[in-house]
Amino acid sequence: MSETDARPARSAAEEPGRPAGDATSWVRRLVVAAIVVSLGVWVSLPTLAIIAALVFFIFMHELGHYVTAKAAGMKVTEFFIGFGPRLWSFQRGETTYGVKAIPAGAYVRIIGMSNLEEVDPAEEGRTYRQKPYWRRMSVAVAGSTMHFLMAIVLFFVVVSVIGTPDPTSPRWTVSAITQGSAADAAGIQLGDRIVSVDGNRFASFDDMSTYLQANPGKDIDIRVERDGRQSALDATLGTREVDGSMVGFLGVGPEFPDTRVGPLSGAVEAVQATGETMWLSIKGLGAFFSPDGLSGYLDTLTGSRPAPAEGEPPDESRIISVVGAVQIASQSPDIAGAVYFLFAINVFIGVFNLVPLLPFDGGHVAIATYERIRSRRGRRYFADVAKLMPLTYAVVAVLAFVFLSSLYLDLVDPVSLQ
C-alpha cells in the first residue's frame, strides 16, 4: 500500500511525452519477454511455478487493500504489479491498472494516506485519512488477512486433498538404503515392504526400529514383499551408537503412505495450524531482531559462524530472501512439501506486514489506533506523520540491509535441505 501523491493516475497513452505504443515501451516489453523466455529455458518448471505462486500472493495482498478501499469509498488511482518502468497499463474509471518491469512486489495507490499528502479539496472526503477508524483498519489489515486466508486454504489442500505421510501406518515401504549396511548386504531393495522380522509383524516403522535396536549384531530373518510376492532374506544387524549406547542397525529409511482427513477436520486443522504458525513467526521475528539474533546474523554474513554440517538443520539466525524461498520450495521432494512451505511463507509475510512501524501495514494500524485513542468528543485527532519520518527512514534502511545481505547469502551460499 502506497502513500504517494494524489495526482490523478494516467495511462501510458495519457502521459505527456509518452505516446501510446512508443518505441521505448516496446523495447522494454521485448526485453522482459526475452527474460521470461530465458527463464523458461534455464529454470526448471517447479521453480517457475513457485515464482508464479509468489507473484500471485503479492497480487492477492494488494487486491485486499484495493477491494476494502473501494468498499470504503476511497479513491484508488493506481493498481500495479511490479515496480520500475511501466510495461503495460490501462485505465478503467479513476484507476490505472498495469504491470511494471521489476516483479518484486506490487502496490495500490490510495489518496490521502497521511497528513503529508496534498489532495484536491474536492476529493478530501474520499481520502484514506478522512474515513472512519474501522474503515481505515479494514484497509490496513486487508493485505495480511489475505495472506492468512491463503495460508488456511493451502494447509487445507495439503491435509485434505494432497494428503500427508502417515508414520503410524504399517504399509510403509523402503525408500532409502544405507550403503554397506545389513539391509544392503541382505539384498533389500527400494520399494520393498518389510512384512515381518523373526516372524514378528509390527504396527509401525517405529515399532520395528525399537525391536531392531534392542538386538545389535543379531542374525535375523526378514520377510519382504516385492512386486506382489513375498520372499525370505537373512541379515546380520549392524551396530551404531545412540546416546552413548550401541544399538542394532538395519539401514533402511521409510516412505509412508499418504493419508487425508475430511473437509471439516481439514478446515479445523488449517485454522489451528495457521494460528500456531503465526505465533511461531512472531517469536522468530522477535528472536531475529534481538541483540543476540542480529549478532548471530552478522556472524553468518561475515563468515565467522561455521556453516551447518551436512544433514544438520539450517542456521536459525539465517533469514532468506525471495531467491532463497524459491530455492527451498524447489528442493521439496513432493508437491505436499512445496505447498506446505508456501503456507508458511504466507503466514510469515502476513505477520511481518503487521509490524507496527511505517512503511508496514502495521504502521498504518498503529497510527489509526493512536488517532482513535486521542480523538475526543467528536473531534477527530490527526497524527503528524512527519514526526515519524526519521524512524521510518531507519526502518527502511534496516530492511534494505537485510534484503540485500540475505540476497547475497542466498546467491553465494544457498540453503540446502537435502
Q: What is the pLDDT of residues 51-108, one digit of tens each?
A: 888 889 999 999 999 999 999 999 999 999 988 888 888 999 999 999 887 777 789 9
DSSP secondary structure code for residue 123 in this structure: G
> DSSP letters of 217-248?
T-EEEEEEEETTEEEEEEEE-EEEEETTEEEE
Ramachandran quadrant class, 14 (left: phi over 0; alpha: psi -120 to 50; beta: rest): alpha
pLDDT given for residue 210 in this prediction: 92
Whether the model pTM is above 0.85:
no
pLDDT given for residue 249 in this prediction: 93
Q: Which of 64, 144, 137 is closest to 369 using CA atoms?
A: 137
Higher pLDDT, 1 or 154: 154
Higher pLDDT, 326 or 260: 260
Residue 3 pLDDT grade (very low, low, confident, very high; cuts 50, 70, 90): very low
Q: Is the pLDDT of residue 203 over 80?
A: yes
Instruction: Look up cell 510495461; give the residue.
Output: 87
Count the Cβ atoms, other than its own, within 10 Å of residue 386.
10
Selected catalytic residue, list 3, 14, 15, 62? 62
**Rounded (10°) CA dihedral 418, 185, 249, 222:** 110
Count the Cβ atoms, other than its own, within 10 Å of residue 331.
17
Contacts of range 6-10, beta carbons closer than 8 Å, 24 or more positions apart: 6/77, 6/111, 6/112, 6/117, 6/118, 6/119, 6/120, 6/123, 6/127, 7/77, 8/77, 8/94, 9/77, 9/78, 9/91, 9/94, 9/95, 9/96, 9/109, 10/91, 10/96
Q: Which of 172, 48, 140 is closest to 103 using CA atoms?
A: 48
9-23, 166-180, 310-324, 402-416, range with greatest mean pLDDT = 166-180
Output phi, psi for 144, to 5 deg.
Answer: -65, -35
Cis before 359 (ω within 30): yes
Question: What whole-number percentage of the chain has pLDDT above 90?
Answer: 48
Q: Is the pLDDT of residue 29 over 80?
A: no
Is residue 106 within 8 A of residue 123, CB to CB? The reply is: no
- What order do you get walking across the sheet with 219-226 strand by strand? 193-197, 219-226, 229-236
Q: Is the pLDDT of residue 151 over 90?
A: yes
Q: Is the pLDDT of residue 116 over 80?
A: yes
Count the Cβ atoms, other than its own, within 10 Å of residue 244.
5
Q: What is the pLDDT of residues 322-381, one digit of tens each?
A: 777 777 766 666 788 889 889 999 999 999 999 998 889 999 999 999 999 999 877 888
| Average pLDDT of the residues in 198-222 | 92
Rounded to whole angstroms, the Cα distance separating 341 from 111 reads 36
CA angle 378, 384, 387 (to 5 degrees): 150
Is residue 98 within 8 A of residue 80, CB to CB? The reply is: yes
Diameter of the chain measured on Cα atoms: 90
Q: Which domains does the chain have, with CATH numbers?
A: 1-131 (no CATH), 173-259 (2.30.42.10), 262-418 (no CATH)
Residue 309 CA to its chain's centroid (Å): 25
62 is annotated as an active-site residue: yes
**What's the first-to-final CA gap in the chain, in angstroms?**
37
pLDDT given for residue 153 in this prediction: 97
Q: What is the pLDDT of residues 381-406, one digit of tens each?
A: 888 888 888 888 888 888 888 888 87
